Amino acid sequence: MRFAPDITCHTHEPHVPELSADTWIDRGGGVRRCSFCGSLSPEDLVELAKRPGVSVELADMKYGFPHKLYLHGVSLSCGPAKFYLKHLVEAGHDEEAFQAAAAVLLQVGIEVQREPLVRVKYKLLNR
């Protein structure tokens, strides 16, 4: 299983070099977060969701589509355990990694499919 090593889903102004590339940063507890949005890495999402006592919740749909998950039962010193779905779009996830992350989303009734041109199609189930 191989997750994308680089973050490619955020775009920045090219004239601001210090914001031109985002990275996964361990802010404590061995959990990597996006340096831009604070999202868990997809790999850590999958691993944390497997832990006993951890539940996954879909955030509100304020943008009209599923955009964020919260993991409850996870104690992180750097704030709430959240995952932004845009990180599923990263180029470089192999099929096994994508399906592992998709299985976590299915827990909250979101079915995802890969689409051409590095896109992801979301479908809400039973809503």
DSSP letter for each residue of 14-35: TT-GGGS---EEE-STT-EEET
Q: What is the pLDDT of residue 124?
A: 67
In this predicted structure, what is the pLDDT of residue 3?
Answer: 83
**Given this model, what pLDDT does residue 5 score?**
79
Q: Is residue 24 part of a domain?
A: yes
Task: Kindly state whether residue 36 falls inside one of the protein's structural domains.
Answer: yes
Containing 98, the helix (H) or strand (E) segment is helix 95-106
Per the domain annotation, does 45 fall within a domain?
A: yes
**Residue 7, domain member (yes or no):** no
Residue 104: its pLDDT value, please? 92
Query: Would you state the pLDDT for residue 59?
Result: 86
Q: Is residue 72 situated within a structural domain?
A: yes
Domain range holding 25?
17-124
Query: How high is the pLDDT of residue 103?
Result: 92
Quick check: is 49 in a domain? yes
- Sheet with 55-58, strands from edge to edge, namely 55-58, 68-72, 81-84
| pLDDT score at 86 | 84
What is the count of structural domains for the chain? Answer: 1
SS3 call for 122: strand
Each of the 127 residues of the chain gets a pLDDT tens digit; together they read: 888 877 777 665 555 555 556 788 887 778 898 888 889 999 999 999 999 999 999 887 777 777 889 999 988 877 789 998 888 877 678 889 889 998 998 888 888 887 765 566 666 676 5
**55-58 and 32-34 strand pairing:** unpaired
Q: Is residue 5 part of a domain?
A: no
Q: Is 100 exposed, middle or buried (0-12, 13-18, 19+ CB in 10 A)?
A: buried
- The answer to whether the CB of 3 falls within 8 A of the CB of 89 is no
Q: For residue 68, tell me if it sits in a domain.
A: yes
pTM of the model: 0.80
**Cα distances (Å, whole numbers) of residue 88 to 14, 36, 39, 52, 101:** 23, 15, 11, 24, 8
